[in-house]
Structure 1
Amino acid sequence: MEWKELVTGDGIVVSVVDLHLREGGGRSTTDTVALETIAEVTASVGEESRTSQNHHQQKQNLANCRNPPLSLLFTLSFPKLMERSVIERLDFGKMGYGCKHYRRRCRIRAPCCNELYSCRHCHNEATSMLSKPLDRHELVRQDVEHVVCSVCDTEQPVAQVCTNCGVRMGEYFCSICKFFDDETGKEHFHCDDCGICRVGGRENFFHCKKCGSCYSNGLRDNHLCVENSMRHHCPICYEYLFDSLKDTAVMKCGHTMHSECYHEMIKRDQYCCPICSKSVIDMSRTWKRIDEEIEATVMPEDYQNRKRSVFEHPEVLVIVLASDALM
């Protein structure tokens, strides 16, 4: 975002900033912006302390500008933002900025590489694609110390409200995780035991001390605890589960994987845990049906009266014991 000087038709120097006009959640346009529209926006947020005659002259001067760059906000409109009520300023541009991961009105300065990114996921995706493996790294969310306001482009220490323009950079803000998000419908909450923010509403989850993660209330006293079961990678896609954005499934054996990976595994007729090989669903009806089929199968005549003592053949005993252990 760069401040520039633009000379109007009457020779008046006006500072401009390349800034997307996304108030009210609208998307920035890639088409030509009509001069009347820009003048109208400027008039609505212009400096009210000037006389109406001067203000009309400003509109006229703005209209005399030929071929203005796309999505420009003139500084003569900025003072009006500062004169708005506190609530109006806080909500300015809400849901209009961000990335595919989060809607927020700021970018973070990565302390590890000193680059600006919309969020830590954008940083991790970018650095994971670096050609040199030694340059690849992940951002530690708690280490972020500075952010840049997406509305006024002011760099500042981490805070919820911009120190320059008064915009709330995230409707939800966590000072521990340095996390911002305008989508409050996710029902964010910070879990002190996990050390990170979760979504879904605090009242809908509990923290399992042994498993080391927040689980849905439906799993309270209804799951097999495995120590730090969430602090591992998904056995299917190998993404780290603890802070993954995807939903997680807790299997009967206590091990975890992504829900979509779990359902894909079931669709492919794989019914055992990839980690411990225990059944992940109730297979009793299947085993009963197999037993019934075996009982209904007539033994071939060549084997009907044939017997063998397993004690005389240890290798057979081992096979039988191994089969029993798998049941």
Structure 2
Amino acid sequence: MSEPTNTQLGIGDFGCTHYRRRCKIVAPCCNEVFGCRHCHNETKNNEEINVVDPHDIPRHEIKKIICSSCDTEQDVQQYCINCGVCMGKYFCGICKFFDDDISKQQYHCDECGICRTGGKDNFFHCKICGCCYSKVIKDGHHCVERAMHHNCPICFEYLFDTLREITVLPCGHTIHFECVKEMEQHHRYSCPVCSKSICDMSSVWKNLDQVISTTPMPITYKNKMYLYETRCGYCAMIVV
């Protein structure tokens, strides 16, 4: 068997719970070494809980990395300046991001300003929503300005760069997919932001209409009419 080349070294058990890579980062804020920025953020925010101003690393500010193969500290780059090992098959010099698992189909979105997964050909960037969405909903999604630039309304994790799967509700608001499933387990079928239905409720409304039609009107309200004004959730038109 031939000897491995420099670029094949370190393919063993390197990386962290978030990414497969052959380098560690030096946090610019505290000068400590971590497997990735998520490792730093989780560690520091568990030590000092501050919801208003969390101790997070802006990915673009990472300047130094340490090779996991030879422990050489160096500027951010894909190949080690000392042993030549490849830090990660996918590398983004803008986000200072490395990952060996290219099955995620990572790509950098210039408009989002960060790397995303799923394959560039499968996504489009909506300028109004300010984020990348699947092309499956390109012609049918309801735009909400900066839709993912806020916290999940259920778990309160910031959505724009979350690692968890996100779904776009019919109303245009965004939420973690698993949070939607949790809502459904508790029989909650309305958007927690605007209260619009998150699924087709026509069968439910039909059943309610049948119940109402077969329920006798109380004598107190019989032969009386009450008018209420309601605003349409989409166009704000008043409906009596």
TM-score computed with the length of structure 2 as normaliser = 0.90
Provide the rounded CA distance (Å) in 2 between the counterparts of 1:136 and 1:237. 16
Partner SS for 2:46: coil
Provide the rounded CA distance (Å) in 2 between the counterparts of 1:233 and 1:155. 35
Residue 265 (str. 1) matches residue 183 (str. 2): yes
Equivalent in 121, 127, 130 of residue 47 of structure 2:
130
Residue 275 (str. 1) matches residue 193 (str. 2): yes
The alpha-carbon deviation at position 156 of structure 1 amounts to 0.5
Alignment of 1:52-131 (within 5 A): 88-94=5-11, 96-131=13-48
Equivalent in 175, 183, 187 of residue 105 of structure 2:
187
After superposition, the CA RMSD in angstroms is 2.5
Q: Is the alpha carbon distance of 1:169 and 1:277 closer, same or farther for their aligned partners in structure 2, counting shifts above 3 Å? A: same
Deviations 1:29-60 (A, max 9, x none): xxxxxxxxxxxxxxx99xxxxxxxxxxxxxxx
One-letter amino acid of the counterpart of residue 115, structure 1: E
TM-score computed with the length of structure 1 as normaliser = 0.67
The alpha-carbon deviation at position 322 of structure 1 amounts to 4.7
Partner SS for 1:123: helix
Provide the rounded CA distance (Å) in 1 between the counterparts of 2:48 and 2:169. 38
Deviations 1:244-303 (A, max 9, x none): 000101001000000000111112111111111111111122111111121122345x45
In structure 2, the partner of 1:52 is none
Q: Give unpaired runs (5+ residues) of structure 1.
A: 1-43, 46-83, 311-316
Larger Rg: 1
Provide the rounded CA distance (Å) in 1 between the counterparts of 2:156 and 2:54. 17
Partner SS for 1:128: helix
Partner SS for 1:227: coil
Residue 165 (str. 1) matches residue 83 (str. 2): yes
In structure 1, the partner of 2:73 is 155
Q: Give unpaired runs (5+ residues) of structure 2.
A: 233-237
Deviations 1:121-174 (A, max 9, x none): 000011102248599511011011110000000001111000000100111100
One-letter amino acid of the counterpart of residue 96, structure 1: D
Residue 143 (str. 1) matches residue 53 (str. 2): no
**8 A contact 2:190–2:196 mirrored in 1:** yes
Provide the rounded CA distance (Å) in 1 between the counterparts of 2:89 and 2:204. 51
**8 A contact 1:127–1:135 mirrored in 2:** no
Q: Is the alpha carbon distance of 1:141 and 1:108 closer, same or farther for their aligned partners in structure 2, counting shifts above 3 Å? A: same
The alpha-carbon deviation at position 198 of structure 1 amounts to 0.5
Provide the rounded CA distance (Å) in 2 between the counterparts of 1:128 and 1:326. 48
One-letter amino acid of the counterpart of residue 148, structure 1: I
Equivalent in 216, 221, 225 of residue 298 of structure 1:
216
In structure 2, the partner of 1:29 is none
One-letter amino acid of the counterpart of residue 106, structure 1: C
Provide runs of 4+ in structure 1 moved above 4 Å: 131-136, 322-327
Q: Is the alpha carbon distance of 1:112 and 1:235 closer, same or farther for their aligned partners in structure 2, counting shifts above 3 Å? A: same
**8 A contact 1:170–1:181 mirrored in 2:** yes
Aligned residues: percent identity? Answer: 51
Provide the rounded CA distance (Å) in 2 between the counterparts of 1:145 and 1:282. 49
**8 A contact 1:142–1:176 mirrored in 2:** yes
**8 A contact 2:10–2:68 mirrored in 1:** no
Q: Is the alpha carbon distance of 1:321 and 1:163 closer, same or farther for their aligned partners in structure 2, counting shifts above 3 Å? A: same
Deviations 1:1-21 (A, max 9, x none): xxxxxxxxxxxxxxxxxxxxx
Provide the rounded CA distance (Å) in 1 between the counterparts of 2:217 and 2:53. 66
Q: Is the alpha carbon distance of 1:131 and 1:250 closer, same or farther for their aligned partners in structure 2, counting shifts above 3 Å? A: closer
**8 A contact 2:14–2:22 mirrored in 1:** yes
In structure 2, the partner of 1:321 is 229
Equivalent in 205, 220, 234 of residue 123 of structure 2:
205
**8 A contact 1:98–1:118 mirrored in 2:** yes
Residue 222 (str. 1) matches residue 136 (str. 2): no
**8 A contact 1:130–1:136 mirrored in 2:** no
